[in-house]
């Protein structure tokens, strides 16, 4: 069959990527969605079993650092859009191995940009899929993180209502699209560098690009090195819950399906060369989040709420640990009408239900090697 658009989604077997792939495959049957993933430890095709037989879905196993492979895939599918999610994303791993993060996040993004430019620039940044039809404008959409902005002050230690979405705020300042970059970890530095390369390809070559910076995501299919799935599993089995420092660090949380909806809106209606911040206006101190999570999981397991508080284990603080992140996403709401659809407690309930109902998935990704890594990471 013919397709009106051919869109490559990199990192589509990962956490956020799998939700974006699923959304696009189901919502746009006239698009061919090409999932490009190297299938590293956090990439899992089981995340997409429900759509793997769809006629508009294709998987290509490839490394974004391989320029020849990226160029061949872009040309093979006559791709007019790239949604770039493939990245190394765990701060702890970046502290241990910064070279891997520079390789994937910086050089991989540069390889993909160069491949897209090689394929698209001779066509005037537009591609025709159907004879006689108007060509489709090309777009390189790069997904980044709020961590590139550095850290915000914790000026309201007890928190206050944000007045925007019912969430909490722990300071008056938020990251806006104009906030200067000040990355503090090897991970955020590598993402900042990749953001700069994307914008440079627009300014130098005229490539149509969009960059978005998002706050912490949570939800189904997240690899359990991240806080929420890790702690759900550990509460279930009575394992320690390692909390960095005193647990006072603050993060802004967004349900992953809301992020996927934002990506959809921005890809189709966002203005090229623009940056959009995506956040939940929903700040939580780590220790408060952990205690809420304990109550929810205990209740769903038929235990007395809070009985797993004894599992909380304070561990030495992460090197260079940023105090607070908080995203101002009012530009996205103003221009495209996007707002988060779920309150945090509702999203957390859905997330806990999913992990407790999908223990086979969890067992398959938490291998013996993973558990050894986890114990070494937190000195447990």
Cite the active site residues. 146-147, 187
d(CA 174, CA 52): 40
DSSP element (H, E) containing 24: helix 15-27
Contacting residues for 79 by C-beta, under 8 A, at least 6 apart:
6, 7, 8, 34, 73, 119, 127
Closest by CA to 94, choosing from 86, 105, 107, is 105
285 φ/ψ angles, rounded to the nearest 5 degrees: -70, 145
Residue written as token pair 């230690």 = 157
Q: Are 50 and 24 in contact (CB under 8 A)?
A: no
At residue 294's C-alpha, the angle toward residues 305 and 253, to 5°, is 135
d(CA 144, CA 364): 28
Q: Are 167 and 344 in contact (CB under 8 A)?
A: yes
- Displacement of CA 235 from its chain's centroid (Å): 24
Residue written as token pair 């999932």 = 35
DSSP element (H, E) containing 32: strand 31-37
The two three-digit tokens of residue 262, written as one number:
């934002």
Q: Is the dihedral angle over the CA atoms 236, 239, 241, 242 positive or is it negative? A: negative
The conformation of residue 311, written as its DSSP 8-state character, comes to G
DSSP element (H, E) containing 216: strand 216-218
Q: Are 108 and 63 in contact (CB under 8 A)?
A: yes
Indicate the pairing of strand 160-161 with strand 168-169.
antiparallel
């Amino acid at each position: 069959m013919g397709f009106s658009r051919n869109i490559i989604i990199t990192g589509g077997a990962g956490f956020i990527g799998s939700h974006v792939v699923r959304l696009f495959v189901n919502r746009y049957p006239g698009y061919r969605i090409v999932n490009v993933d190297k299938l590293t430890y956090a990439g899992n095709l089981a995340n997409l079993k429900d759509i793997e037989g769809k006629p508009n879905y294709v998987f290509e196993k490839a490394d974004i650092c391989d320029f020849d492979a990226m160029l061949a895939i872009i040309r093979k599918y006559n791709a007019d859009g790239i949604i770039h999610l493939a990245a190394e994303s765990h701060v702890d791993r970046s502290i241990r191995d910064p070279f891997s993060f520079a390789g994937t996040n910086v050089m991989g993004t540069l390889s993909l940009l160069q491949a897209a430019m090689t394929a698209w620039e001779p066509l005037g940044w537009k591609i025709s899929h159907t004879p006689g039809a108007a060509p489709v404008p090309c777009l390189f959409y790069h997904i980044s993180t709020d961590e590139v902005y550095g850290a915000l002050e914790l000026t309201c230690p007890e928190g206050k209502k944000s007045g925007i979405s019912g969430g909490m705020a722990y300071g008056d300042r938020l990251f806006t699209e104009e906030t200067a970059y000040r990355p503090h970890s090897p991970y955020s530095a590598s993402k900042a560098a990749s953001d700069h390369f994307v914008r440079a390809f627009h300014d130098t070559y005229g490539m149509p690009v969009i960059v978005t910076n998002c706050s912490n995501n949570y939800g189904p299919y997240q690899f359990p090195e991240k806080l929420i799935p890790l702690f759900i599993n550990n509460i279930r089995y009575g394992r320690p819950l390692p909390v960095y420092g005193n647990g006072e660090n603050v993060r802004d949380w967004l349900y992953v399906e809301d992020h996927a909806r934002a990506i959809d809106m921005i890809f189709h209606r966002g203005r090229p060369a623009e940056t959009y911040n995506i956040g939940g206006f929903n700040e939580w101190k780590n220790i408060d989040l952990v205690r809420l999570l304990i109550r929810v999981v205990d209740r769903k397991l038929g235990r007395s709420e809070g009985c797993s508080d004894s599992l909380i284990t304070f561990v030495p603080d992460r090197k260079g640990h940023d105090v607070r992140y908080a995203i101002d996403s009012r530009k996205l709401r103003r221009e495209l009408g996007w707002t988060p659809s779920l309150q945090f407690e509702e999203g957390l309930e859905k997330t806990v239900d999913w992990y407790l109902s999908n223990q086979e998935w969890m067992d398959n990704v938490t291998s013996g090697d993973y558990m050894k890594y986890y114990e070494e990471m937190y000195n447990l």
